[in-house]
Amino acid sequence: MKKINFSPIFFVGPHIVLFLVFILLPTIFGIYASFTKWNLVGDPVWVGLDNYRTILFNEDSTFYHQFYNGMKNTFLFVLISVPLMIIIPLLIAVALEHKEVKFKNLFQTLLYIPGLISISAASLIWSLIFNKQLGVVNNLFGSEAVWASTQPYAWITIIAITIWAGIGGNMIIYRASINGVSPDLYESAEIDGAGSFRKFLNITLPSIRFPLIFTLVMTTAGSFNVFAQPLMMTSGGPQQSTTVLMMYIRDLAFSHGQSIAGMASAMAVMLGLVILVISAIQYYLMNRNAV
Amino acid sequence: MSNTTLSKSKPIKVQKNKRFNPSMYLAYTFLIIVSGVWLIPVIFGITTSFRSQTEVVNEGFRLLPVNWIVDNYIAILENTSSAPILQWIWNSIFISTTHTLLVIVVISITGYGYTRMNFKGRDVLFFTLLAISFFPNVVNLIPSYKIIDTLGWVNTPWAMIVPGLAGMGNIFLVRQFMKGIPKELDESARVDGASDFVIFFRIILPLIKPVLIVCGLFSFVGSWNDFLWPVIVYTDVQKMPVTAGLLLLQDVYGNYRMIGQLMGSAILAIIPTLLLFLFAQKYFVQAIKLNAGIKG
């Protein structure tokens, strides 16, 4: 008696095909490839845990050094940039939501627009800012620094452009959530004689806990994929001190020489696992704290 | 709040307004400094694009050019072989527009399927796909290239248009939005004999316009600014989108030997998304709030 209805297949079917071909299949194949020797052209040859053994334990291998150097630099970037990407937008949002501040939308627009500029265009402009002879920074501060090719300046350029381009989204989220905090809370705190700082600490921060942790998770996961800024600003230098793991992965798999896609896949899986574990920990903290 | 506390709080407030209010000045100072710092690169890039190379080198650092010239832009537009910036911008416009339109088609149809239709295992299927899509996509990067290569899409627009259609994020947003539409609307239409197609086009589609605009804008900007993927799938200079093209410029313009042209190219590349933003600013702000799943 039951009539089979085919229309759900029409509505969700096409996307499922896309999902299988462009997400599920490549994910499974990416994990499989990490256990193989593969040059991207021929058939992968199963080598078991060899790639992982090499990148994790074989100190004589260049891949070992690339992996640890790339991982170290990626972590360094995440550790410096993520706190700044949370704190700076938060301070701006608090300043913007100050009752007596006007031109809120003008300020917000100015600070949001860099996020719409592609990172390669932004990098060209910022390379000029940090140019040794012509740049704003050296001329304004009378500095002699050769930014892209000495440390810690190379990292400073990368972090500067990251923050410049990246704070807009988080800023708007914080603004919206601070705006949503009940004014009654502030009023009663005022009656108790709380100053601006106390109010921020005891009312604003706890009230926007959820968006704070949400942006923390998203920003962290995104930051682990860092690639464009070091490539454009420093080319990974000086002495590979800003070469992040994503750059090694791309070079190994897609450089002009022989592709070492199997090894690159092992590195990609390791990076993916790190992102997964750290996101999971952050989500756990978020759920535990969300009431 | 009781009346007694209110009356108590009033005198304090009046006092506060009369008094010098340091927090407001602090907020203003902070905002003006930050905005200034945020603007400097763009202004400096624009003004440098109107200066000649000799002026850049000889006059050193200046905010405004001594002589405003457009030679850099003429040179940029004439170089259609090694740095075809207009071609790149056109490639990006084609890629991002096509991608955005297809995203809107896919997410509205799929969102309807997962929200308004009843079939066995619907929610299990949806959340399974959602969970899989949370897996970090660095893992599928290399095989994705292999798939694109197998399909013969390397150095074609399809390499950037199609794979992004598989994502779950926008479908999740559409689903959330559609759930807010009362079931009675389509149920009564169904009783009247309307098919799913009619309900979708006549009832649901007009109602979900806001979320589609928001997802569309985000898809457009995301596609326009994507960097890693186009750097991998495009080797043909004439076929690449503008973000990948700009990577080549540091070599083309000889590492700051033609600094004005370098800046001019960067400025040209910025203009399309900037215009889009100016026309659709309020949707962008909505988009971010919606993307965060936080009601403002």
* Best CA proximity match to B219, nearest among B153, B168, B288, B170: B170
More confident residue, B282 or A225: A225
| pLDDT at A78 (0 to 100) | 97
Inform me whether the pLDDT recorded for A251 exceeds 80: yes
Contact A16 B129 (CB under 8 A): yes
Report the residue of chain B nearest A178, measured CA to CA. Answer: B296
Q: Does A80 touch chain B (CB under 8 A)?
A: no
Confidence class of residue A285 from pLDDT cuts 50, 70 and 90?
A: confident
* Best CA proximity match to A132, nearest among A114, A117, A154, A158: A154
| pLDDT at B1 (0 to 100) | 38
Confidence class of residue A157 from pLDDT cuts 50, 70 and 90?
A: very high
* Best CA proximity match to A83, nearest among A223, A285, A284: A223
CA–CA distances in Å: residue B213 to residues A57, B67, B171, B184: 50, 43, 13, 25
Residue of B142, B172, B277, B284 to mutate, testing the A interface (most A Cβ within 10 Å of its Cβ): B142
| pLDDT at A286 (0 to 100) | 74
pTM: 0.89
Q: CA A199, A200, A205: angle at the middle one, nearest 5? A: 120
Q: What is the mean pLDDT of residues B99-110?
A: 97
The predicted-structure confidence for B70-84, as pLDDT tens digits, reads as follows 989 999 998 888 889
Contact B289 A254 (CB under 8 A): no
The predicted-structure confidence for B53-73, as pLDDT tens digits, reads as follows 888 877 777 778 888 989 899
Whether B225 and B160 have beta carbons less than 8 Å apart is answered as: no
Confidence class of residue A4 from pLDDT cuts 50, 70 and 90?
A: low
- Nearest-angstrom CA–CA distance, B250 and B254: 6
Q: What is the mean pLDDT of residues B175-194?
A: 88
Residue with tokens 């008696």: A1
Q: A185-194, long-range: CB within 8 Å, 24+ apart, which pairs?
A: A187/B1, A187/B9, A188/B1, A188/B5, A190/B9, A190/B12, A190/B13, A191/B5, A191/B8, A191/B9, A191/B12
Highest mean predicted confidence (pLDDT) among A20-34, A188-202, B117-131, B172-186: A20-34
Percent of chain A with pLDDT over 70: 97
Q: Does A77 touch chain B (CB under 8 A)?
A: no
Q: Is residue A240 part of a domain?
A: yes
| pLDDT at A131 (0 to 100) | 82
Q: Does A60 touch chain B (CB under 8 A)?
A: no
- Nearest-angstrom CA–CA distance, B84 and B268: 12
Q: Is residue A245 part of a domain?
A: yes
More confident residue, A34 or B289: A34
| pLDDT at B11 (0 to 100) | 47
Q: What is the mean pLDDT of residues A98-102?
A: 82
| pLDDT at A246 (0 to 100) | 96
Whether A154 and A241 have beta carbons less than 8 Å apart is answered as: yes
* Best CA proximity match to A222, nearest among B119, B218, B137: B137
The predicted-structure confidence for A167-213, as pLDDT tens digits, reads as follows 988 998 999 889 888 888 888 888 888 777 888 888 888 888 888 88
Whether B166 and A21 have beta carbons less than 8 Å apart is answered as: yes
β-strand partners of A36: A46
Q: Is residue A244 part of a domain?
A: yes
Q: Is residue A24 part of a domain?
A: no
Inform me whether the pLDDT recorded for B245 exceeds 50: yes
Helix boundaries (H) for chain B:
3-18, 22-49, 53-59, 71-78, 85-116, 122-133, 141-150, 158-161, 169-179, 183-191, 196-198, 205-207, 209-225, 228-233, 242-252, 259-279, 281-291
| pLDDT at A101 (0 to 100) | 83
Inform me whether the pLDDT recorded for B2 exceeds 50: no
Coil, strand or helix: which one is B50?
coil
Reading the block at residue A219, the tokens are: 């920003």
Q: Is residue A88 part of a domain?
A: yes
| pLDDT at B256 (0 to 100) | 67
| pLDDT at B96 (0 to 100) | 97
Inform me whether the pLDDT recorded for B251 exceeds 60: yes
Confidence class of residue B148 from pLDDT cuts 50, 70 and 90?
A: very high
Backbone angles phi, psi at A166, to 5 degrees: -105, -5
| pLDDT at A209 (0 to 100) | 85
Q: Is residue A233 part of a domain?
A: yes
Contact B225 A116 (CB under 8 A): yes
The predicted-structure confidence for A212-240, as pLDDT tens digits, reads as follows 888 999 999 999 999 999 999 998 889 99
Contact B246 A128 (CB under 8 A): no
Q: What is the mean pLDDT of residues B167-179?
A: 92
Highest mean predicted confidence (pLDDT) among A54-68, A135-149, A202-216, B56-70: A54-68
Distance from CA of B53 to the nearest CA of A (A): 11
Domain that holds residue A218: 62-290
Distance from CA of A57 to the nearest CA of B (A): 21
Whether B228 and B190 have beta carbons less than 8 Å apart is answered as: no
* Best CA proximity match to B113, nearest among B174, B56, B67: B174
Q: Is residue A168 part of a domain?
A: yes
Q: Does A116 touch chain B (CB under 8 A)?
A: yes
More confident residue, A243 or B58: A243
Contact B24 A98 (CB under 8 A): yes
CATH no. for residue A162? 1.10.3720.10
Inform me whether the pLDDT recorded for B113 exceeds 90: yes
Partner-chain residue, chosen from B40, B110, B281, that has the shortest CB–CB distance to A15: B110
* Count of structural domains within chain A: 1
Q: How far is CA A285 from the centre of its chain?
A: 19
ipTM: 0.90
* From A31-40, A191-200, B129-138, B262-271, the region with the lowest mean pLDDT: A191-200
- Nearest-angstrom CA–CA distance, A19 and B130: 10
- Nearest-angstrom CA–CA distance, B56 and B72: 12
Count the neighbouring beta carbons within 10 Å of the beta carbon of residue A248: 28
Show Cβ contacts of residue A121 under 8 Å, excluding neighbours closer than 6 positions: B242, B243, B246, B266, B267, B269, B270
Percent of chain B with pLDDT over 70: 89
Q: Does A19 touch chain B (CB under 8 A)?
A: yes
Q: Is residue A34 part of a domain?
A: no
Highest mean predicted confidence (pLDDT) among A107-111, A181-185, B248-252: A107-111
Q: B162: which chain A residues are within 8 Å (Cβ-Cβ)? A: 18, 22
